[in-house]
Chains A and B, each alone.
Chain A
Amino acid sequence: MSDGTARVQPLRAAREAEPQVELWVFGLNHKTAPVELRERLAFPEEDVADVLKRAIAAAPVDEAVLISTCNRVELVAVSARDVDIVDPVTQFFARERGVPATTIASHCYVHRGKQALQHVFRVASSLDSMMVGEPQILGQMKAQFRLAVEGAAAARILRRCFERSFTVAKRVRNETGVAGKAVSLSSAAVELAKRIFDDLGDKTAMLIGAGKMSELAARHFVGQGIASVIVTNRSFDRAVDLARQFGGTPVPFDRYAQYLPLADVVLGSVTTSGYLFGPSQLHEVLRARRRRPMFFIDLGVPRNFDPAINDLDNVYLYNIDDLANVADDHRAEREKEAVQAEEIVREETERFWQWIARRDVTPTIVALRGKLDGIRKNELERALVALRKLEPDERRALEAMTQAIVNKILHPPLAVLKQLALQDASEAAQVAELVHRLFALEPAAARDATDDEEER
């Protein structure tokens, strides 16, 4: 009672020990930006680690993960609560990719707090995908997350956040029909092929680039009975590998053009600096195949095929956006399917958000509990010395009684703190500071326990 006055904690201490954080999603996707812009903003995988380092240096963010696929470029970041990262991040992207900041600003979206969390969960669960339920996005996110972890850009909060998002995605896949019913870009491509060709059974598909997406599309075509598959890839080993899966033929990347006249369906998904070919080269190919129709599917970012080839007779070129438009017809059905999935995401967001929100009061709770328990143990020790001759069960009864007293005393304030953390973060922080002062708590000791505290 008497020694407490000398060691009052300064009000600032709690705040500095555990800064309040804000979760951000800054990005653009297939709904907000055209493919040309997405192409320009997409980052090659090998650059991601460096990009994240530069982002953390350039913008006031503590953690960052980049999600860069052909349909979206998003920065998921954690900052201190009272800073605004939108402008610095916009400028950062503009500098990195040489795109005017105003262009980015007019096509991007920003989510923060719980909405940002929900967005990450939705993306992982493929609910925000161009083709709802398509399976690639999860793998892509995992890969990008790994890059961020290796580059030390994702730390405590984002690590938990992403790991949880993968769990959520798994739940959505297992508990809803979204993944199963999903009409993917690939099946839209097959559907279109069936509008062009009367029988896939005598047709050949050629994969230029052995990416995940074209692999998936090829699988659909094979499933629909396409006669043969030719695979070419910069890494020939990968081409051989993929060709073996489909019973297809691998061809070296520098000689694929020779085989082009054999292909009725051509799937492009390589990373190129320019177009693989344009109308004039294709003219020769068409002549060689007696002008039988060709269906080109451009899955590459940046684009693989010159859009001008679509103007050639008997040539049909679709890029990812075009495929999505075709698939749009089924959107209503799919969205019905997605309602259940959205419910799961909402529920998981709520649950995980509590963990994040309570992070602000968790040190206080741990410290308070520790303090009271310390007092209890001290006093119990002292009493036991005085009482000396006690049976073991009497000791246990005393132990239990003191424990119960502490718990009963702690219950209302802790409940209020937890509740407050969910409702009003700033008030929760004030109350937490007050608690620190009233009970003369040690913030430093409490912090280590943070991550062990439950996320219930």
Chain B
Amino acid sequence: MTEALLLRLALLLYLTGTVCGGLSLVNPGDAMRRATSFSLAAGFLLQGAAIIARSFEVGTIAVASLADQGALFACLLVGVYLLAQFRYRLAVLGAMVGPIGFVGALVALVAHGGAQDVPQVLKSPWLPVHVTLAFLGNAAFALAFLVSLVYLWQEKQLKSHSVGRMMRRMPPLETLDNVNFKFLGWGFVLLTMSIVSGVLWAELSFGRMWSWEPRTLWTTIIWILYAVLLHGRVTVGWGGRRAAALTIVGFFVLFVAFIGVNVLAPGRHAESFG
């Protein structure tokens, strides 16, 4: 009951944040930017509270269904964005993150009640740690992906010498490139920590630290992909368009693998979350 109410309020706030974010592109100013951040922050807190409430209901972190995962992902995405917002002025991202939060909250609301119980074997304190780290990492990668989209769009405008009014509201290319790098770095660290936590958990609980199954395979691929991208960045100075394009490719692989593994593939991750 309370959960549905919280989600409804979160929906409303995300919607407000999206509208304010859009308006701040047309009509920039601190007031509009602050309204965007404030609405999204309030939405984030309410949705977070809903997820926590639901988790108490389930007994551990609520990630059993795809809907639950989507909601958690969207919520953490907004959260990471809000953290980044302290450091960089990224109003344009606010306008993109708002709808994602909205959809996440909507999915949670619609799927409400259809909760699947988490198998007893996975009800461990490791689960929230492992899952939260993984989802935070994904959220950072998703933000890197969004930043890269903005980068490519703006780069194209600058190259083609058609600099419109809209572009003056965008952060400079260099900022976008730096932010992209930061998100990638954080995503990579979180992903690594999530893998490490998973390995430890598997070792301690099941006595086998690694089992090859679709999810771990894909995670490894994605980890290598991002590792290469970051390595190229640090050593050769891959930046700009190339980095943005690779970030987009990386997230695309991540997204497809996530959905694909969830829907199709068997394995410990799947049997628990399927």
Residue numbers in B under 8 Å from A325 (CB-CB): 161-163
Of B61-69, B133-141, B164-172, the one with at least 4 CB within 8 A of chain A? B164-172
B87 part of interface (Cβ distance < 8 Å): no
Which chain B residue has the least Cβ–Cβ distance from A287?
Answer: B237
A194 part of interface (Cβ distance < 8 Å): yes
Report how far A196 CA is from B165 CA in the complex, Å. 15
A237-294, CB < 8 A from B: 290-293
Report how far A195 CA is from B237 CA in the complex, Å. 21
A93 part of interface (Cβ distance < 8 Å): no
Q: Within the complex, what minimum Cβ distance (angstroms) separates B233 from chain A? A: 10
B273 part of interface (Cβ distance < 8 Å): no
Of A208-216, A310-318, A446-454, the one with at least 4 CB within 8 A of chain B? A310-318
Residue numbers in B under 8 Å from A192 (CB-CB): 158, 163
Residue numbers in B under 8 Å from A105 (CB-CB): none
B39 part of interface (Cβ distance < 8 Å): no
Known interface pairs A197-B172, A291-B237, A291-B239. Does A329 touch B165 (Cβ–Cβ under 8 Å)? yes
B170 partner, pick from A195, A291, A292, A322, beta carbons under 8 A: A195
B175 touches A198 (CB 8 A): yes
A190-204, CB < 8 A from B: 191-192, 194-199
B172 touches A194 (CB 8 A): yes
B158 touches A313 (CB 8 A): no
B60 part of interface (Cβ distance < 8 Å): no
B240 touches A195 (CB 8 A): no
A159-217, CB < 8 A from B: 191-192, 194-199
Known interface pairs A195-B158, A198-B178, A292-B237. Does A313 touch B242 (Cβ–Cβ under 8 Å)? yes
With most chain B CB atoms within 10 A of its CB, the pick from A194, A293, A322, A325 is A293
A372 part of interface (Cβ distance < 8 Å): no
A290 partner, pick from B167, B173, B237, B242, beta carbons under 8 A: B237
B174 part of interface (Cβ distance < 8 Å): yes
Q: Within the complex, what minimum Cβ distance (angstroms) separates A226 from chain B? A: 14
Per-residue CB contact flags for chain A residues 320-332 toward chain B (1 = under 8 Å, else 0) read 0010011001000
Q: Within the complex, what minimum Cβ distance (angstroms) separates A192 from chain B? A: 7
A292 touches B239 (CB 8 A): yes
B163 touches A195 (CB 8 A): yes
Report how far A199 CA is from B236 CA in the complex, Å. 23
Known interface pairs A195-B170, A196-B173, A198-B171. Does A310 touch B241 (Cβ–Cβ under 8 Å)? no
Q: Within the complex, what minimum Cβ distance (angstroms) separates B91 from chain A? A: 15
B238 part of interface (Cβ distance < 8 Å): yes
B175 touches A195 (CB 8 A): no
Report how far A444 CA is from B167 CA in the complex, Å. 69
Known interface pairs A310-B159, A318-B161, A322-B161. Does A196 touch B239 (Cβ–Cβ under 8 Å)? no
Report how far A310 CA is from B170 CA in the complex, Å. 21
B247 part of interface (Cβ distance < 8 Å): no
A293 touches B161 (CB 8 A): no
Report how far A316 CA is from B163 CA in the complex, Å. 12
Residue numbers in A under 8 Å from B178 (CB-CB): 198
Q: Within the complex, what minimum Cβ distance (angstroms) separates B264 from chain A? A: 37
A322-356, CB < 8 A from B: 322, 325-326, 329
Known interface pairs A316-B159, A325-B162, A326-B163. Does A195 touch B154 (Cβ–Cβ under 8 Å)? yes
Per-residue CB contact flags for chain A residues 53-92 toward chain B (1 = under 8 Å, else 0) read 0000000000000000000000000000000000000000
Report how far A322 CA is from B154 CA in the complex, Å. 16
Q: Within the complex, what minimum Cβ distance (angstroms) separates A261 from chain B? A: 12
Per-residue CB contact flags for chain A residues 392-427 toward chain B (1 = under 8 Å, else 0) read 000000000000000000000000000000000000
Residue numbers in B under 8 Å from A326 (CB-CB): 161, 163
Residue numbers in A under 8 Å from B167 (CB-CB): 195
Residue numbers in B under 8 Å from A318 (CB-CB): 161
Residue numbers in A under 8 Å from B158 (CB-CB): 192, 195-196, 316
Residue numbers in A under 8 Å from B175 (CB-CB): 198
Q: Within the complex, what minimum Cβ distance (angstroms) separates A333 from chain B? A: 13
Which chain B residue has the least Cβ–Cβ distance from A290?
Answer: B237
Report how far A310 CA is from B165 CA in the complex, Å. 22
Residue numbers in B under 8 Å from A310 (CB-CB): 159
Known interface pairs A290-B237, A292-B237. Does A195 touch B173 (Cβ–Cβ under 8 Å)? yes
Q: Within the complex, what minimum Cβ distance (angstroms) separates A93 from chain B? A: 29
B125-169, CB < 8 A from A: 154, 158-159, 161-165, 167-168
Which chain A residue has the least Cβ–Cβ distance from B163?
Answer: A326
Report how far A134 CA is from B213 CA in the complex, Å. 68
Which chain A residue has the least Cβ–Cβ distance from B162?
Answer: A325
B174 touches A291 (CB 8 A): no
In the assembled complex, 27 residue pairs joining A and B whose CB atoms fall closer than 8 Å, in A order, are A191-B168, A192-B158, A194-B172, A195-B163, A195-B167, A195-B173, A196-B158, A196-B173, A196-B174, A197-B174, A198-B174, A199-B174, A291-B237, A291-B238, A291-B239, A292-B237, A292-B239, A293-B174, A310-B159, A314-B240, A314-B241, A322-B161, A325-B161, A326-B161, A326-B163, A329-B164, A329-B165
Point out residues on B near A: beta carbons under 8 Å: 154, 158-159, 161-165, 167-168, 170-175, 178, 236-242
A198-B174, A326-B163 given. 17 additional CB < 8 A pairs? A191-B168, A195-B163, A195-B170, A195-B172, A196-B172, A196-B173, A198-B175, A198-B178, A291-B237, A291-B238, A291-B240, A292-B239, A293-B173, A316-B158, A316-B159, A318-B161, A325-B162
Q: Which 5 A-B pairs have the closest CB atoms?
A: A290-B237, A198-B175, A322-B161, A198-B174, A198-B172
